[in-house]
Amino acid sequence: MERTTKELSMADIAGWGSALVTFGLIQGALYLKAYWGHFGLDPFQYVAVSEIALAGLAGIGLALGMMFVAILLGDWLGNKLTSIGPDRRLLGFLAPAGLFLGLGAIIWWANAWAVLLGALLTVVCLAAVSIAPTVPAAIKKSPWLTYAVVMLVYVSIASNWLGAERAKKITRGEETRVANIRIESGSLSGLSLIGRLGDSYAFWDKARKATLLLPASELRSLEIGRGPLAETRGTD
């Protein structure tokens, strides 16, 4: 009996591990596609599948951590709001209103309308699953339904949005780190390092509004610093 239980446990671990890696692969693909696609590059031409999965798993760790904090904070706020007595109705009305207004202000300040859209779409999907007659009752009553929909819908939209916003920050010139590179034919200054795709380094040239892709073998030196560098180009 113990051997059977142990085998089932190992099978469950293998199953959840496979599901996690697959989910990481999907999220990594969404993030990298949105990020590199903003620069006109396709990451699947350069990046190995393992690297995409690793990027996705890193994002999952952050998402799960944020969700855990949000659950604890939501539970604490829920207990506080439900403990408000009927003699303090005004406070019971102002507290949730202030919370939602604060969240709206944060979304407006961060220009994270895609995240708000993802939250609304998550609610719509949950409602659709709850009223769909073809969905088994066991799925509708499952305590994991909300978490599954959040991970599949909300996190996917957030991954795509985060990748696009990271790329837009670079093209808008908000990146604080700039790069000086030296190649055989000369040197280039004032570039923004986008990242590495396989055996090539990618840079954003703000002056020409173009993406520069250089093989690692052609780079003689790469200097990255903070603050604006002189955007001069010359030859040695």
Write the pLDDT tens digit of every residue in 139-155.
888 877 877 787 788 87
Write the pLDDT tens digit of every residue in 165-182.
889 988 988 877 888 888
- Looking at residue 85, its amino acid is G
Q: How confident is the model at residue 6 (pLDDT cuts 50, 70, 90)?
A: very low
Write the pLDDT tens digit of every residue in 98-124.
766 776 777 777 677 777 787 788 888
The residue-averaged pLDDT of 189-211 equals 86
Total-model pTM: 0.69
Write the pLDDT tens digit of every residue in 61-78.
666 666 667 667 766 776
In the numeric block, the tokens 């393992």 are attached to 50
> Read out DSSP for the chain?
-HHHHHHHHHHHHHHHHHHHHHHHHHHHHHHHHHHHHTTT--GGGTS-HHHHHHHHHHHHHHHHHHHHHHHHHHHHHHHHHHT--GGGHHHHHHHHHHHHHHHHHHHHHHT-HHHHHHHHHHHHHHHHHHH-TTS-HHHHT-TTHHHHHIIIIIHHHHHHHHHHHHHHHHHTT--SEEEEEEETTEEEEEEEEEEEETTEEEEEETTTTEEEEEEGGGEEEEEEEES------B--
Residue 186 or residue 204, greater confidence: 204
Residue 214, pLDDT score = 87
Q: How confident is the model at residue 213 (pLDDT cuts 50, 70, 90)?
A: confident
Write the pLDDT tens digit of every residue in 122-133.
888 888 888 888
